[in-house]
A and B are shown apart, each in its own frame.
Chain A
Amino acid sequence: MGKLNVNLCGIELANPVIPASGTFGYGYEFAELYDINELGTFSFKGTTRDARFGNPTPRIAECSAGMINAVGLQNPGVDKVISEELPRLAKCFHKPVMANVSGFSVEDYAYTCEKLDKEPQVGWLEVNVSCPNVHGGGMSFGTQPQAAAEVTRAVKAVTTKPIIIKLSPNVTDIVSIAKACEDAGADGISLINTLLGMRIDLRTRKPVIANKMGGFSGPAIFPVAVRMVYQVAQAVNIPVVGMGGVSSAEDVIEMMLAGATAVEVGAANLVHPYICRDIIRDLPNVMEKYKINSLQEIIGGIK
């Protein structure tokens, strides 16, 4: 086993670095820049049962050390993802991909997951019960243990591949939700999605974002993410995928010490398009500095 390898729900990753859903499209914008097969895998754009345009613009606001987005799950719908995006992706990415799924009802989640589960390119299903930018779905499933468990059970019943439930940080007790998902059969937990945030334009006195609020991401949220990954990893016996403001090889290792088996990189891809490749290339140097022989060995290695 190589020094960077980790095992995520039974599938070997060459390294733990995974571009996060919504920051990497369906991969090919980045495939023009570098060989995306260098990645552990990536989580593709959140996919729903039907096509969605998403929210009105502006959808983006800048913050200190981060940004707010309110894209609202723009995607072509699961059928077009399967008929158009995945075949196009197959030409530039030859590893199992993480399929990110969102929905507005339990049936939606099951429907979309069942379809994507049959695709040979899909390695894991990352079920997003934490999108803050849609009404009547998304995050509302991830803020109550029973609702999150219900989605998990429904998805597990119609799929064969590992199910990773992506959780929201906008809750008072993240551990109870993670445990409810584990009890309902989840194969992994990923966290954190964005923190609900807001900016106001002083000149117009209106919210900067047309949808008023949006998801806050970027380096500013990294400490919140490390804390929540730590809390969840201490409480569950399934793999945890850590994310939230990760921007360097050091951040990846910190997340893994907190308990993450793999680490997603989100907002940083938008500002530094080569960041995931650069982190992977930098990991051996940082490992050497901190006398780490194997990344798999440091998962949850916090003292």
Chain B
Amino acid sequence: MKQSIFTILSNTALTENVYKMVLGGDTSAITAPGQFVNILLDGLYLRRPISVCDYDENTLTIIYKVVGKGTQAMSHMETGELDILTGLGNGYDLTVSGDHPVLLGGGVGVPPMYNLARQLLAQGKKVTVILGFNTKSEIFYEEEFKNLGCDVLVTTVDGSYGIKSFVTDALKEVSYTYFYTCGPEPMLKALHKATATSGQMSFEERMGCGFGACMGCSCKTLTGYKRICKDGPVMRKEEILWES
């Protein structure tokens, strides 16, 4: 983990309420796709945990949906500096992907799939990406995944674009060696049943610190109590315990 100051390089709307912010700064603490950052905002007490969409040596890209005061404030930022904790969480383990992993992102669960896809492709894997949205106007990053060289399937719940289905239905048409996913919990739960292989899922929870100190985001797993911020947010399929 590292605390450092980032400069806002750009902040643009991808859809009506989803924004992409590119920040310049020291990304050396980020070690794996699927990690997150925790952002301090003026006038708000707790930091805002946001997943990392992409990063290189000195830029960080995050994609966030406006859901509350913090993300609302972020959406209005054009320039300036932000105090950010980077390198939080465990991230995805790429070493177990096999030759043809499938990546499934639902809504704002799509962003962490981007750097993951990029790194898997760099390792010479064939990558299929299934992006799930409610409706056409919410879709983002379809072209970006195609430009990386992924096979991309887009599903919408209302059928206004792509395949009219959930990501679980689209998955039936794909052969794969392993899966990685991030999205709303009902989607993760459905995928837990629908997937034929092992895989990894990223979870979210309201956090106090984001680095394992406060026990605010604990969950029960088959391998004991885990802190989503520190021991997660990525969990292996085999350890997940659904409580409801």
| Chain A residues within CB distance 8 Å of chain B | 22-25, 29-30, 32-33, 45, 53-54, 57-67, 69, 71, 74, 208, 218-219, 267, 269-274
Contact = CB atoms under 8 A, between A and B. Distances in A.
Nearest to A27: B213
Given A53-B220, A271-B47, A273-B213, 18 more contacts: A23-B214, A24-B213, A25-B215, A30-B213, A32-B1, A45-B215, A57-B216, A57-B217, A59-B216, A60-B217, A64-B45, A67-B208, A69-B214, A71-B215, A208-B206, A270-B208, A270-B209, A272-B3
Given A29-B230, A57-B218, A60-B216, A67 B46 contact: yes
Contacts of A218: 45
A71 B206 CA distance: 12
A60 B46 contact: yes
B213 A23 contact: yes
A60 B207 contact: yes
B219 interface: yes
B3 A62 contact: no
A74 B208 contact: no
Contact of A273 (B205, B207, B209, B225): B209
Contacts of A272: 3
Contact of B212 (A29, A208, A267): A29
B40 interface: yes
A69 B219 contact: no
Q: What is the predominant secondary structure among interface residues of chain A facing chain B?
A: loop
The 10 A-B residue pairs with the shortest CB-CB distance, nearest first, are: A270-B209, A60-B216, A58-B206, A74-B215, A60-B206, A29-B212, A60-B208, A270-B208, A71-B215, A62-B46
Nearest to A71: B215
B44 A62 contact: yes
Contacts of A64: 45
B229 to A, nearest CB: 10
B1 to A, nearest CB: 7
Contacts of A273: 1, 3, 85, 209, 211, 213
Interface in B185-244: 205-209, 211-220, 225, 230
15 contacts: A25-B213, A53-B220, A59-B216, A60-B206, A60-B208, A60-B216, A62-B45, A62-B46, A65-B45, A67-B45, A69-B216, A74-B215, A267-B45, A269-B209, A270-B213
Contacts of A71: 214-216, 218
A132 to B, nearest CB: 15
B218 A53 contact: yes
A69 B205 contact: no
